[in-house]
Amino acid sequence: MKNILITEDDKKLRDGLIEILKVKGYSIDSADNGQQALEKIKKTDFDIVLTDQIMPVMKGLELLKNILQIKPNTKVIIITAFGTINDAVEAIKAGPRIISRSHLK
């Protein structure tokens, strides 16, 4: 079973993602912001971190960079409703991670 951390400041969206993934059988933990997520990542091994880009305290790209330093094998998916080309380029430069359906099985 995959262990997934959802980092999202919007409670309704976070709860919706948790519900969908739990129904699919994944082990889920969640965080309200990047700093809270980083503390959990230091203590627990997650297969995948699903994070929003725009959050208070620590943005998704900063979280990605921290994860790659402390747990480089963790897959990270950044989601956002307000993405820019600069954000996408910065994420790729930080360390691209390709997630396929096979990673979720």
User: How many structural domains compose the chain?
Assistant: 1
Q: Could you list the pLDDT tens digit for every one of the 105 residues in the chain?
A: 799 999 999 999 999 999 999 999 999 999 999 999 999 999 999 999 999 988 989 988 899 989 989 999 999 988 877 666 776 666 666 665 544 344 444
The structure's pTM equals: 0.81
Can you give the residue range of the structural domain that contains 73?
Answer: 3-104
- Tell me the C-alpha distance between 41 and 23, whole Å: 23
Here the CATH number for the domain that contains residue 62 is 3.40.50.2300
Task: Give the pLDDT confidence score for residue 43 in this predicted structure.
Answer: 96
Measured CA distances, 44 to 53, 76, 92 (Å): 21, 15, 25
